[in-house]
Amino acid sequence: MSNFTSASAWSVDQLQLAVNAACVALWRWNVDDNSFYMDPRGFELWGLSWSEKLEFEQLSAHIHPADRDRVRAAFVATRAVAGPYEIDFRIMLGQEIRWISARGQGADEGIVDRTMFGVFLDVTGRKQAEEGHELLAGEMSHRVKNLLAIASSLTALTAQSCESVEEMTKDLMRRLSALGRAHDLVRPLPESHGRAALLGDLITVLLAPYDDLGAFNDRIRVAVPRMGIGEQTANILAMVIHELATNSAKHGALSSQEGTLAITGVIQDEKLIITWAETGGPVVAERPTMTGFGSKMLVRILESELAGGISYDWQPAGLVATVTARASILPQ
């Protein structure tokens, strides 16, 4: 065991092989004349041409401006603080940003001929992973808060419109279930498509429970533009689709085995226009009043959140509802 702990047991070539395997860059810093020396890997790491020695300020010029003062102060502090230190900071190579970890011994510990020694490590991958985890945690926190806010609002509004606990429980569970299905679908999309979900996927998933009923199978058709929508828009449209589908299952086309439903969409005049057309259901004898909680909720959230609205055309064959939303808001 002593052979492994003795410095003399390692040749210079063996130590260099170990350093190369660890992707470590070596440096030394003369604390009197401020001259700085690095091995070839260090120059490669910093994106610099080889030079016999550098001034410490030459390296500082490549440190990210947001980190520069902190790094200078930290290196000065190493002269007074005993023990090992580790300083993480960013450097700039043109448009590329790298994360560097500088490590050594403070308070002149191990200093030889007024020279301090240490290493540089490229920790860009680790820092990017940490930033990714922080971004994910922040996004999850945002989504949870958003869902809780919507759920709280739904609970309060549903309580106002129901006459019994049983009725409230049933209606609220249905609305929360629709919200949950929309949330399950929300996921990151390529930037060209939006932030959370594809519009067609959202509508199809929300209406799947009404289309998978044996004889009723394939009675729902969805033909909308292939476009991405954001989390907020997905949650709002989930409420709209749910209310329309619930009413249709009670009184419209989805209440009849012969009933069919077609949802189409177009982008026109900077607006998304979705048409909900029912046919084959019970004959519409007279126009409903549409003054219930669900109808009021649709109008309220479409106007306030999507700068849009909803209109109803009660034709003899069934309801034709038109939902509009400002296209520029949809990715949110």
d(CA 23, CA 122): 8
CA distance to 68, 72, 81, 124, per residue, from 48 (Å): 18, 20, 30, 18
Residue 37 confidence (pLDDT): 84
Residue 194 confidence (pLDDT): 47
Residue 84 confidence (pLDDT): 83
Residue 94 confidence (pLDDT): 81
Residue 152 confidence (pLDDT): 63
Residue 156 confidence (pLDDT): 63
Residues 319, 221 contacting (CB under 8 angstroms): no
d(CA 59, CA 48): 9
d(CA 170, CA 165): 9
Residue at 57: amino acid letter: E
- CATH 3.30.450.20 maps onto the chain at 2-122
Residues 195, 231 contacting (CB under 8 angstroms): yes
- CATH 3.30.565.10 maps onto the chain at 130-329
Residue 216 confidence (pLDDT): 43
CATH topology (fold) of 130-329: Heat Shock Protein 90 (3.30.565)
Residue 181 confidence (pLDDT): 63
CATH topology (fold) of 2-122: Beta-Lactamase (3.30.450)
Residue 321 confidence (pLDDT): 92
How confident is the chain (332 residues) per 10-residue block, as mean pLDDT? 57 76 81 81 85 78 86 78 83 86 76 78 83 64 58 61 72 68 55 63 77 56 87 81 79 82 91 92 73 69 85 88 88 73
Give the number of other Cβ atoms within 10 Å of residue 195's Cβ: 19
Residues 59, 155 contacting (CB under 8 angstroms): no
By 3-state DSSP, what share of the chain in percent is helix, strand and coil, each rounded to 5?
Answer: 50, 25, 25
Residue 15 confidence (pLDDT): 77
Residues 4, 102 contacting (CB under 8 angstroms): no
Residue at 197: amino acid letter: A
Residue 213 confidence (pLDDT): 44
d(CA 114, CA 110): 10
